[in-house]
Amino acid sequence: MAETAAPATTRQKDLSARVSPAAQLRSAFETGSLRGVVELAEVSFLTMVGLRVDRNSDAGQRIASVTGGLPAACGGVSGSGDTTVLWLGPAEFLVVAPMEAHESLGGDLIQALKEALAGGEGQVVDLSANRTTFELTGPRARAVLEKGCSLDLHPRVFKAGTALSTEIGNIPAILWKTRDDSYRIFPRASFADFLGRWLLDAMREYASPEVP
Amino acid sequence: MLLISCPNCGSRDETEFHYGGQAHVAYPENPNALNDREWAEFLFYRDNTKGAFAERWLHSTGCRQWFNMLRDTVTYEIQAIYPMGTARPDAAPPAPESGTASTAPDSTTTGTAAPSIAATSIATSSAPASTTAPEGATK
Ligand SMILES: [Zn+2]
């Protein structure tokens, strides 16, 4: 049998070959953003890990020591440094970490979580390609979201440092308020184009002068 | 649109939920022992109640957890929300004497049971079992 000669070069990681789910909207996001009013951008390739574990179990506590805690209830966000854990369900969490935490770029987060789970009951699943991240910021960000999200987003109710799994523009998404006037939205990759365009459309009115 | 109070997440729009059909339809003890009619009744026959109806719901775009709801099929009033695996809360009005295990009108093991009448006369035992709503979850 003919040996297929494997190229002797070590496989280089060509990061420029990656395409994020809303890459085609990058320039539209730039032109649609209004400085100091409402701005939209995609944050590509964040590392995301799905956790299924009972936070009161031994395995849950081992995992919490890796992530810097597991949130206790709906809306909860915990974590340490740039690794954040969002509450998705009573025994379901989403870890969000910078791109570099992914094992393909030399990170060890996922491996550490798997080791923490060890033989315990639960799951640690790399979901980095499952969702993309939109960052919506500015004083009008809430008004944009309110066009398609029925949660009470008023700051006295929806506080910075809270994340909720809900619907935005009729599609399921996770909404994380990172700071005042600053939101991260996690749509699934297949909804990214739709939600990106939906948000741009919702932002458009703020480009016009306010009608007195 | 119904505003449904998820036991985990608080009040959310109905569009975040999926309906799961009649609650308390127990899987047969021994499916092999059923004849075709009984099996068909387990699979397909459901009450068509006018009034209070116990049904399952899934908070599909939220916490992805199932729960039970007692809902009036005429007025859409949600009378109670209670965890999976617990008995239907309206049961018969509590028998005055002794704690006789009040068997709820938990109709359904084989689907032939009578629909729960008395729906309208139920002393609404509806402390909506919702827990405290988390930040941002209330409308
Ligand atoms: Zn829920």
Coil, helix or strand at residue B123? coil
Compare A2 and B25 and report the one with higher pLDDT.
B25
- Contact present, A195 and A201 (Cβ < 8 Å): no
* Nearest CB to B62; choose among A152, A166, A177: A166
Which domain range does residue A78 map to? 46-129
Is A3 within the bounds of a domain? no
Nearest CA in chain A to B17: A166
The pLDDT, as a whole number, for residue B104 is: 41
Same-domain status, A118 and A166: no
Interatomic CA distance for residues A160 and A43, integer angstroms:
19
Examine the domain organization and report whether A124 and A52 are in the same domain: yes
Q: Are residues A121 and A167 in the same domain?
A: no
Judge: B9–A150 Cβ closer than 8 Å, yes or no: no
Task: Let me know whether A77 and A107 are in one domain.
Answer: yes
Cβ-contact B3, B130 below 8 angstroms? no
| Exposure string for B24-58, b = 16+ CB within 10 A, e = fewer | bbeeeeeeeeeeeebeebbeebbbebebbbbbbbb
| Domain membership flag for residue A17 | no
At A32 the three-state DSSP class reads: helix
In chain B, the domains with their CATH numbers are 3-28+37-83 (3.30.2270.10)
Spatial CB neighbours of A115, under 8 Å, sequence gap ≥ 6: none
A114, A129, A144 — which closes off a domain?
Answer: A129
Rg (CA), chain B: 16
Residues in Cβ contact with A41 at an 8 Å cutoff, skipping those fewer than 6 apart: A29, A30, A33, A134, A135
- State the DSSP code for A202: H
ipTM for the whole complex: 0.87
Lowest-pLDDT range of B31-35, B88-92, B114-118: B114-118
User: For residue B5, is it left (φ>0), alpha (ψ between -120 and 50) or beta?
Assistant: beta
Find, among B87, B10, B108, B23, the residue nearest to B57 by Cα: B23
Kindly tell me if the per-residue pLDDT of B132 is higher than 80.
no
What is the pLDDT at residue A3? 55
Nearest-Å Rg of the Cα atoms of chain A is 19
Examine the domain organization and report whether A120 and A145 are in the same domain: no
CATH assignment of the domain containing A161: 3.30.1360.120
A88–B9 C-beta distance less than 8 A: no
Domain membership flag for residue A2? no
Question: What is the domain count for chain A?
Answer: 2
Nearest to B138 among A88, A152, A167 (CB): A152
Q: Per-10-residue mean pLDDT for chain A, 212 residues long?
A: 53 79 97 97 97 97 96 95 95 97 94 96 97 98 97 96 97 97 97 98 91 82
Cα of A144 from ligand 1 centre, angstroms: 24
Closest CA to A165 of A67, A77, A74, A95: A74
